[in-house]
Structure 1
Amino acid sequence: MRIVIDGAAIATVDAAGTEHATGHVVVADGRIEAVGAGPAPDGPADRRIDATGCLVTPGLVNTHHHLYQWATRGFAQQATLFEWLTELYPVWVGIDDKITHAAAAAGLVRLAKTGCTTAADHHYVFPRGAGDLIAPIVEAAGQVGLRLHAVRGSMDRGESNGGLPPDSVVENRDEALVATAEAIDRYHDPAPEAFVRVAVGPCSPFTVSTELMSQAADLARDKGVRLHTHLAETVDEEQQCLAELGCTPMEYADRTGWLGEDVWLAHGIHFSDGAVARLGATGTGVAHCPTSNARLGAGFARVADLVAAGAPVGLGVDGAASNEDGGLGVELRTATYLARLRGGPAALSARDSLRLATMGGARCLGRQDELGSLEPGKLADLAVWRLDGVEHAGIDDPVAALVLGSLPPLALLLAGGRPVVEDGACRTVSEVDVATALRAASLALLEKR
C-alpha cells in the first residue's frame, strides 16, 4: 500500500534534527519512501491524506513495560517500591493466560492511542501451573498491530531465599534458563522488519540469584539477543546490594556481565558520577520511566547526564500498577518537567524529550537503523498528531505543542505502513471488547485473592 501524507509539519528526528514547517511523507510497502518539504511529488497512491494542521513524528518507542499489570491498577497508592511489591506479589500469583492476554491487549491499545508503535514488555511473573505467559502477550501485540520486544523475565529468589516474591511465582535457575531459551527459539525474529523480538530479562538484583544473572547474560549472548533488567531504581535496592553483595547495583551489573551495547536497564535513578560515565563508555542503555518514578517516589533519573555521557536513553511507561495512565505520549511532558526540577529549565528541551521517545528508544532496543526517525528506507512507523484544536491553538512551535501541551489526538498511527489508530480510535481491535475483557480479568484476579 502506498500512502501519501501531505501538508503537515514534520519532525524527522534524524541526526541533524531536520524539520519542515510544511512537508510530506510517502510510505510504500511498509517503509518510508520519501520525506521532504512542500507538497509530495506526483505519483500513484492508494491513499492520500491531507494532514494540514498536523505534526508527523516517528512512532514512539516504549522501552519498559509490564503489560500484565493492567489488571491491577490502583493498588498500594502511597507505597514505596518494596512496599508496593509486597502488596502486589500475592495478587499476581493469580494471573493466567486469559488474564495476561486481556491486560496486554488493553495496555497495547492505550499505548497505540498515545503514539506508541513499538513496546518492550518485561514479563517476569510465572505462577506455578500458569503455562507459557509470553504467548498471550505475543498474540495481543499481533492483534493490536504493534511491534513487541518480549522480555522473558525470571525470578529465582522467593521469600524462603531472602527475596520479596512468594515462592509460588519464582522458578528455579534451570527452569528459568530453559524457558527463556524456548521463548527465544519460538518467538524471536531477527529480521530488520520484525514485529516480535525476544530479550533476556532476569527481574532485579533483589529477586534473582547471582548465578541466574550471570548465566542469563551468557544465554542472551549465545542466542544473539538483547539483555534487560531493573537496576538502581531505589535507595532500598542499593542498601540491600551493599549489605548482601558488598557492592552497588552498578558494580553488581558490571561484575555479572550486565553492561554493554546489547544491554538496556530499567529506571537507572541512583547512579554516581562514575556509574554514569561507565554506562556511557560501555554504551549501556537506560529506560527512563518518569511517571512511575514519581508515583513511587523513587527519585529523579540523571537523564541529561546520561545523554551527555553517551548512554542511550529511552522513555518507558512501566507497569500500569505504578503508572495508571499507561500511555507513552504523556511521558514526553513528564520527562521534560522532572529533568527541569532536577537541573533547571534548560536541562531538557521539548526536542530532547521527543528524541528520547524515538531515536533514544530505538537505540536502547538496538533498532536505530530501522526505527526512531523519519528517513527514506526506514520502517514506516509514524504518528500524525492533530494540532488544529483549541488545546494547541496559538502555539507556533508544533514540537512544543506536542510535548508541553496536552497530548494531541492521533489522526493516524502507522506501524509498518499499516493503520493502527485513525481519528483517535484503534482500528485493529474493538476498544469496547478490550475494555470488557479487562474488567472481567481484573475481577477474576481479585476473586482469586
Structure 2
Amino acid sequence: MSSLRLHSIDLLATMTGAEIGDGALLVRDGWIEKIGTTSEITDAADESVDLSGHVVLPGLVNTHQHLWQSLARAVPAAQDAALVDWLMALFPLWEKLTPDGVRTAGRLGAAGLALSGCTTVADHHYVWPNGIRMDDLVDGVAPVGVRAHLTRGGMSVGASQGGLAADVLTEREDAIVDATERAVSAFHDPEAGAMMRIAAGPPSVLSTSAELMRELGALAREHGIGLHTHLAETAGESERCVAAVGAPALPYLESLGWSGEHVWFAHAVHLAPDEIRSLAGSGTGVAHCPTSNMRLGSGIAPLGEFLREGVRVGLGVDGAASNDSTDMFAEVRQAMLLARVMAGMKGMGGIRHGSAGHRLLTARQMLRLATAGGAEVLSRDDIGTLAPGKAADIVAVDLDRLRFAGQHDPLAALVLCGTAHVDQSWVHGRRVVEDGRLRTVDVDELTAEHRARSAELTA
C-alpha cells in the first residue's frame, strides 16, 4: 500500500462547498482517505508534500476534445472560416493522418491538458484513414497519465452521398459498429477509478444513417458505455436536419434512443427552450465549448438557461484546430466571461438582462462546471470533487506569482486573474505535474516529433 499526505495548503477547495484554510489530504492507494485541516490530518505517509501558498482543488474534467487536431493549428485556409468552410479546409489534411500522427497528437494534446490542470479528457475521434485504430489513440494518451474517455466515432455518409467529407474518410456502417465493439472489449474499464473508458458516437446526425445511430444507441445500452455527438453547433444545422430527416436534430436523436444520463452532446448552441427542458428532464449532458464557438463564429450557448433548467453541463476545450489550444483553465475563464456577456444581452437567452442588482455567474460556479459538472456529464461519481472515497485527482496552483499579486480571494483569482498552468497534479494519487513540469513524458522530444507529424499533412 502507498500513501500520500498533502498539507499546509493555503486553500483547499473540495468543490462540494467546503473551502478549508491550512488544509490537508491523506491519499492511500490512489483514493482520498481523509480531508481536513493540517492539524487534523497528522497521519504518517510514504510521501508528504508541503503545499504552503497553494490553492488545491479537484482535477479539471474536459468533456469534449479532438486531440488529433493539434496537428492542424492555425491553418491559413481555416483561420477565418465558419464551421462548414473550416471543415472543408481541413478534411484534405485529415485524409493524410497516420497512426503515428494520432499517437503523437494524442500524447501532445494530453500533455498540454495536464499542464493546464486537466486530469480527465473525453476525446471524440471520428476519422480513421490509413489504417488508424483506437489502439493508436490509446498508445498516445495513456503514457501522459490522465484519465481518458475515448469516443469511437465514424462517418458513413461521404461526398458521393451528399455529405461533407471525402469518401476516403468514411467507413462502412458495419465496420463502425465492429470497431466500436472491439474498442469496448479491448479498452473499456467500467470499474470505479477507471483510467480508460470508451464511448460511441459519430460526429453529427447527418454523417450517418438513422439505422446506425439507433444501433449505436442500442450498443451503448448493452455495454453500459456513453453516447456522444455534436448537436446544434451552428444556426443552420436545424434547417439542414429538417430538410434531410424531417425533424430538428434533438427530437430526431431522441427518437433514435439518444437520451439519458449516458448521453452527452457537444456545443448545443442553438436550442429552443422546450429542447433545453427536454435535456434537463432526461438527464442528458452538454459539453459547453465557448472558445471554439467564438473562434468559428457559431454563436453563444445559453449557459444561463441550461443551469436554470437543471441541465447537466461540463466544459470542453474542443479541437486544437478550432480553439486553438489545449488550455483547460483558459476555458473556465472564457466560459465565465462569455456568460457575463450573454447576461447583458436582451433576448439572447442569457441569465437575464444585466440589470443593477443581478448577480452574474461566478468564478466558483465555473470551477464547479469544470470539475464536478464535468464528472456528472461523463457519468463519473468517483472524480470531480475532493472527499473521502473519491479518486485522488488533485491539482495545485502556487499563488506566489506575478499574475496573482494583490488577490483577496485565492479561489476566484484562479479564474479572474487567469491560470497559465498548474504547479502540481496527481491522477489517482500518481504525480503527473511537478513544479510546473510534466513528469510522465519528455515535452521537448514530444514537441519535435509533433512538428514532424504536422508537416506531413501539408507535404
Considering the TM-score relative to the shorter chain, is it more than 0.5?
yes
The 1:228/1:172 distance shift into structure 2, 3 A limit, reads same
| Cα distance per residue 1:367-410 (max 9 Å; x no partner) | 0x200000011000010111121210221111211111121542
Q: Where do residues 293-442 of structure 1 align in structure 2 (5 Å cutoff)?
A: 293-344=293-344, 346-367=359-380, 369-442=381-454
| Cα distance per residue 1:225-277 (max 9 Å; x no partner) | 11111111001211211221222111112111111111010111111110010
Give secondary structure in 2 for the equivalent of 1:391: helix
Give secondary structure in 1 for the equivalent of 2:390: coil
Query: What letter corresponds to residue 24 of structure 1 in structure 2?
Result: A
Tell me if the contact between 2:329 and 2:418 (Cα under 8 Å) persists in the aligned partners. Answer: no
The 1:44/1:37 distance shift into structure 2, 3 A limit, reads closer
TM-superposed CA distance for 1:43, in Å, is 2.0
Aligned residue pair count: 442
In structure 2, the partner of 1:444 is 456
| Cα distance per residue 1:279-298 (max 9 Å; x no partner) | 00000000001111110011
Q: Structure 1 unaligned segments of length 5 or more: list them.
A: none
Give secondary structure in 2 for the equivalent of 1:62: strand
Alignment partners' CA distance in 2, 1:285 and 1:347: 23
Tell me if the contact between 2:26 and 2:41 (Cα under 8 Å) persists in the aligned partners. Answer: no
Alignment partners' CA distance in 1, 2:6 and 2:386: 13
Given the alignment of the two structures, is residue 95 of structure 1 paired with residue 97 of structure 2, yes or no? Answer: yes
Alignment partners' CA distance in 1, 2:99 and 2:437: 26
Tell me if the contact between 2:22 and 2:37 (Cα under 8 Å) persists in the aligned partners. Answer: yes
| Cα distance per residue 1:205-231 (max 9 Å; x no partner) | 121222211111111111111111111
TM-superposed CA distance for 1:141, in Å, is 2.1
Give secondary structure in 1 for the equivalent of 2:266: strand
Give secondary structure in 2 for the equivalent of 1:446: coil
Alignment partners' CA distance in 2, 1:131 and 1:107: 17
In structure 1, the partner of 2:80 is 78
In structure 2, the partner of 1:247 is 247
Alignment partners' CA distance in 2, 1:40 and 1:437: 47
Q: Where do residues 230-309 of structure 1 align in structure 2 (5 Å cutoff)?
A: 230-309=230-309
TM-superposed CA distance for 1:139, in Å, is 1.4
Tell me if the contact between 1:99 and 1:445 (Cα under 8 Å) persists in the aligned partners. Answer: no
Alignment partners' CA distance in 1, 2:71 and 2:206: 24
Tell me if the contact between 1:385 and 1:408 (Cα under 8 Å) persists in the aligned partners. Answer: no
TM-superposed CA distance for 1:326, in Å, is 1.4
Give secondary structure in 2 for the equivalent of 1:163: coil
Tell me if the contact between 1:81 and 1:296 (Cα under 8 Å) persists in the aligned partners. Answer: yes
In structure 2, the partner of 1:5 is 6
Alignment partners' CA distance in 2, 1:410 and 1:320: 20
| Cα distance per residue 1:347-370 (max 9 Å; x no partner) | 421011001000110001110x20
| Cα distance per residue 1:132-168 (max 9 Å; x no partner) | 1x11221122210011101000111100111111100
Alignment partners' CA distance in 2, 1:407 and 1:415: 19
Tell me if the contact between 2:105 and 2:140 (Cα under 8 Å) persists in the aligned partners. Answer: no
Tell me if the contact between 1:202 and 1:216 (Cα under 8 Å) persists in the aligned partners. Answer: no
Tell me if the contact between 1:32 and 1:376 (Cα under 8 Å) persists in the aligned partners. Answer: yes
Alignment partners' CA distance in 1, 2:235 and 2:360: 24
| Cα distance per residue 1:154-199 (max 9 Å; x no partner) | 1111001111111001012111111111111111111111110000
Moved more, 393-402 or 281-290: 393-402
TM-superposed CA distance for 1:324, in Å, is 1.4
| Cα distance per residue 1:66-123 (max 9 Å; x no partner) | 1111111112011010110011111100111100011111100000000000000000
Alignment partners' CA distance in 2, 1:191 and 1:82: 39
TM-score of the aligned structures, taking structure 1 as reference length: 0.96
Tell me if the contact between 2:287 and 2:316 (Cα under 8 Å) persists in the aligned partners. Answer: yes
TM-superposed CA distance for 1:63, in Å, is 0.3
TM-superposed CA distance for 1:308, in Å, is 2.0
Alignment partners' CA distance in 2, 1:230 and 1:390: 39
TM-superposed CA distance for 1:40, in Å, is 4.8
Give secondary structure in 2 for the equivalent of 1:7: strand
Identical counterparts, % of pairs: 43
Alignment partners' CA distance in 2, 1:221 and 1:52: 46
Q: Where do residues 177-216 of structure 1 align in structure 2 (5 Å cutoff)?
A: 177-216=177-216
| Cα distance per residue 1:406-439 (max 9 Å; x no partner) | 2154221000100000111111010011101100
TM-superposed CA distance for 1:38, in Å, is 4.2
Give secondary structure in 2 for the equivalent of 1:215: helix
Alignment partners' CA distance in 2, 1:172 and 1:196: 26
Query: What letter corresponds to residue 399 of structure 2 in structure 1?
Result: L
Alignment partners' CA distance in 2, 1:255 and 1:35: 45
Alignment partners' CA distance in 2, 1:446 and 1:39: 58
| Cα distance per residue 1:46-73 (max 9 Å; x no partner) | 2222211110010000100011111111
In structure 1, the partner of 2:117 is 115
Tell me if the contact between 2:395 and 2:422 (Cα under 8 Å) persists in the aligned partners. Answer: yes
TM-score of the aligned structures, taking structure 2 as reference length: 0.94
